[in-house]
Structure formats: structure tokens, C-alpha cells
Amino acid sequence: MKVFIVTGSVCTGKTTLAKLIAKKHHAIYINVNELIKEYKLYSNYDKKFKSYIVDSKKLNKFLIRLIKNSRNNLVLDSHLTHYLPSKYVDLCYVTKCELKELKKRLMKRRYSKEKVRENLDAEILDVCLVEALENKHKVKVIDTTKGINL
């Protein structure tokens, strides 16, 4: 049983990549953001940012149980997956995208100016990559700017 996680800034191609990995490795695709809503794995809702404040302890506990109970390969899709302890994860993919293309993708999603800026900043600072490395994951970076080569 293998566990793949896919993290990265918003619109860098996590979901697209995760679904490709699921096909390639005959793994079950798991939309972690849906799980967070369905099982209320958040502590609060931030009205200003229109987003849930996720309780990462609760989320990790939930995902670890899911991993332990699974007999299939799994692909977990979310920018919060790299908070999982690395011992439960075989490979952590981090998606990246060049800023010009990323801005286009974010605007297409009709985010506010602030939200676009915030997400571009997260990509510039490599927040997910830095945190994934800090968390001792085995990391593979995939640039999706011009398509995905797995």
C-alpha cells in the first residue's frame, strides 16, 4: 500500500496532478478539502478570507486513520497534506507554476485582487515546499506551467 500526497499553492495543479497519479498507480483519489467540509475538520470559518480555518491536529488524526484502514494505494490532494507525519507518506509531490501563468489561472477562478496576491505570495515564498521539507517528507517537485510529465 502506497500513500502519495499532493501539496502546493492554490491553482498550481494539485488536483490535475493527483488525478493523473491515481490513474498511473491504480490509487484512490481523495479530495481532502471535501473531507474537511464533510467531517467538519475545521475549528472556525474566516468570513473575511471566506475560508475554513482547519484544525490540523483533527485533520491529521482523521487522515492517519484513513491511511491505516486502507488496503489500496492512496493519493491525498490538498495544500494541508504535508502536515502529515512523513512516516505515513511514501512520496510528497509539490506542484509549482510560473507566476505569469499562475496569475492567469487565479484570475480565471475569479478570486478577489487580495486573494490573487495572497496566493501568488505563497507561491513566491514556496510555503508548501519549505514546510514539506521541514516536515522531512521525500519531496518531488512538479512544474505544471507547460503541462505535466509524470
Which residues are near ligand ADP by CB under 6 A? 8, 10-16, 95, 105, 144, 147-148
By a kind-dependent CB cut-off of 5 to 8 A, residue 86 interacts, out of Mg ion, ligand ADP, none, with none
Q: How far is the CB of 14 from Mg ion (least distance, A)?
A: 5
Q: What is the DSSP letter of 52?
A: E
Q: Choose from ligand ADP, Mg ion, none: what does 81 bind? Cβ within 5-8 Å by kind.
A: none
Q: Point out the residue whose Cβ comes nearest to Mg ion.
A: 15
Instruction: Give the nearest distance from C-beta 68 to ligand ADP in angstroms.
Output: 26
| Minimum CB distance to Mg ion smaller for 81 or for 84 | 81
DSSP designation for 8: E
Q: In the complex with ligand ADP, which residue's Cβ is closer, 48 or 147? A: 147
Backbone angles phi, psi at 145, to 5 degrees: -50, -45
Q: Shortest CA distance to 49 belongs to which of 102, 109, 116, 106? A: 116
Name the residue nearer to Mg ion (CB basis): 1 or 107. 107
15 binds Mg ion (CB under 5 A): yes
| 16 is a contact residue toward Mg ion (CB under 5 A) | no
Burial track 96-123 (b if 16+ CB lie within 10 A, e otherwise): bbeeebbbebbeeeebeeebbeebbebb
Quote the least distance from Cβ 13 to ligand ADP, whole Å.
Answer: 3
Q: Which does 70 bind (CB under 5 to 8 A by kind): ligand ADP, Mg ion, none?
A: none
CA distance 63 to 3: 11
| DSSP 3-state of 60 | helix
At CA 39, angle to CA 36 and CA 42, rounded to 5?
Answer: 50
Interface residue list for Mg ion (CB under 5 A):
14-15
